[in-house]
Structure 1
Amino acid sequence: MLDSLRCALAFLTRLPVGEANFDGRDVGRSTAYFPVVGALLALLELAVLALALPRLGAMAAAVLACAAMARLTGAFHLDAIADMADGFGGGLTRERVLEIMRDHVIGAYGAVTLILALGLRAAALAGLASAGLGILGAWLIAASAWSRCASAWMGWALPYARASGQHGQKRLGAAVTDHVGRREVIVATSLAAALSLAAFACSLDAWALPLALTLGVSLVTVAAMARLCLRRIGGVTGDTLGATTQAVELAVLTLGLALT
């Protein structure tokens, strides 16, 4: 378990974990603990918000928190959502979509999507901050946990979209699709639910409805992304997995803002 947690930290963050020599099987199995890494990142981001809020105000603090998250993760999922937007927006055929997503240059679709995603995230954090750090922290932990759990769901449900000979993204996408099984999905879902329950129970008087709604919104978002990926490219890639993470996180944060 500790090795899997270290692998998850090494894969999802830029936090030091010591010497890391993990293969695709290790990465796939570590998805079970992705929600724990998500919760850890949420706590670190909450610390940034707590320090910045009294001095800078809600919006500036939220922007700094988004910058801190990008640094902690190496902008891992932000790059993914931009690549997916460029590919799905500019590609008319499956082959062209996959080709565009492999290109490191960000086009108009990717740039606009990235700006809107970061803007929505910062606005949601700023809005939740007005309700108090406890409520903000609860929704941030829930969003981070369920969004990382989404990788296990997607990897278990869909095949890898690229041909086996294309190794450019193979390690990122196929490591999940090839090695995620029922165990990883069950553990990841259970951990995400437990972390969300603990966060809501500590901060909200009524936690049952928010817990149920976060699960529902996460499942609906993943289902929509899975359907889109299956229809357009016949499966998932590392970029679409990362973009799904961002989509779920934004959906849960927006839900929290709507309920607050």
Structure 2
Amino acid sequence: MKQQLNLFFHALLFYSRIPAGKIDYSEENLTKAFRYFPLVGIIVGALGGGVFLLFQWILPMPVALVIAMTAMVLLTGAIHEDGLSDFFDGFGGGRDKERILSIMKESTIGAYGVISLILLFLLKFMLLLSIDSSHIMVVLIAAHASSRVLPVFMVNSSRYARTGDSKAMHTRRKTDMTTFLLALTFGLVPLIFIPWQIISIVIPLYAMIMILLKKYTEKKIDGFTGDVLGALQQFSELAFYLICIIIYHINQ
């Protein structure tokens, strides 16, 4: 149990800004902490949903959504949004592997990154605004949990593109089977509360997104980086919201 708590705290500290206890850090432990990556998503989605429900009592829904989105960004430290912006900067401005990797590692943000973030938050806001407020809590939890399973698949099915030191060096390692199965479990359990029609579309769509992104990044940079994993999570989260809108609308 102590070891599992240590791994969970690794996941909290690396994938969120939620305070955690002291950890016995190692790169191997951080790789194993992937098993709790979707659980962090459940926590972030639940807290974001809770903020939305709280402010919905006193404010219009659009304002409550903006506050909830802000809270979730603060909870994660925008780690995945940062990955998305770096992804678009790198692949939008780089012509070869070395240049793409160099751009993605830069601390500054370029035009592609800025535009991608504007569109990302605009899309999230409009998509969530189109979902009935009674569904927001379960949708946020399920989207944040299930979309975090995709990076675990990517780590185990592709290869890390960088050499030398980087923030995501732990993703060079494939996860063990226990880590993979626990991550899958935490990612899928919240889907119990989602209509089966959504699940039947989302899972194949997730697979398509990951396969296409995997093929594209392997062609361009011979694998993935931490920024690619962040972009994958964000693409998947958006896809989940989109399918929810379609199915909830059909079922009305």
Same fold (TM over 0.5): yes
> Helix, strand or coil: the match of 2:29?
helix
The worse-fitting range, judged by mean Cα deviation, of 59-68 and 96-105 is: 59-68
2:199 to 189, 202, 211: 211
Q: How far does residue 68 in structure 1 lie from its aligned partner after superposition?
A: 0.7
What is residue 37 of structure 1 aligned with on the other side? 40
What is residue 203 of structure 1 aligned with on the other side? none
Q: 8 Å contact 1:38–1:144 — kept in the other structure? A: yes
Inter-partner Cα distance in structure 1 for 2:176 and 2:217: 20
What is residue 91 of structure 1 aligned with on the other side? 94
TM norm structure 2: 0.92
What is residue 65 of structure 1 aligned with on the other side? 68
> Helix, strand or coil: the match of 2:130?
helix
Is residue 2:147 matched to residue 1:144?
A: no
1:82 to 85, 97, 117: 85
Inter-partner Cα distance in structure 1 for 2:207 and 2:62: 29
Q: Give CA-to-partner distance per residue, 1:32-82, whole Å, 9 cap, x none.
A: 121111011100000111122233322222111111111111111111110
Structure 2 unaligned residues grouped into runs of 5+: none
Superposed counterparts of 1:95-244, under 5 Å: 95-128=98-131, 131-133=132-134, 135-163=135-163, 166-167=164-165, 169=166, 171-172=167-168, 174-197=169-192, 199-200=193-194, 207-244=195-232
Quick one: which amino acid aligns to residue 221 of structure 1?
Answer: I
Quick one: which amino acid aligns to residue 114 of structure 1?
Answer: L
Inter-partner Cα distance in structure 1 for 2:13 and 2:53: 26
Inter-partner Cα distance in structure 2 for 1:252 and 1:183: 26
Quick one: which amino acid aligns to residue 77 of structure 1?
Answer: H
Q: 8 Å contact 1:87–1:96 — kept in the other structure? A: yes
Q: Give CA-to-partner distance per residue, 1:139-190, whole Å, 9 cap, x none.
A: 2111101111112111111111012xx31x2x41x31231423332222122
Quick one: which amino acid aligns to residue 247 of structure 1?
Answer: F
TM norm structure 1: 0.89
Q: 8 Å contact 2:50–2:137 — kept in the other structure? A: no
Q: 8 Å contact 1:58–1:127 — kept in the other structure? A: no
Q: How many residues align?
A: 245
Inter-partner Cα distance in structure 1 for 2:110 and 2:94: 12
Structure 1 unaligned residues grouped into runs of 5+: 201-206
Deviating above 6 A after TM superposition, structure 1's stretches of 4 or more consecutive aligned residues are none
1:258 to 236, 246, 249: 246
Q: Give CA-to-partner distance per residue, 1:109-135, whole Å, 9 cap, x none.
A: 00000110111111122221xx233x2
> Helix, strand or coil: the match of 2:11?
helix
Q: 8 Å contact 1:142–1:196 — kept in the other structure? A: yes
1:46 to 43, 46, 49: 49
Inter-partner Cα distance in structure 2 for 1:232 and 1:182: 29
Inter-partner Cα distance in structure 1 for 2:197 and 2:89: 36
Q: 8 Å contact 2:88–2:116 — kept in the other structure? A: yes
Inter-partner Cα distance in structure 1 for 2:78 and 2:222: 26
Q: 8 Å contact 2:62–2:129 — kept in the other structure? A: yes
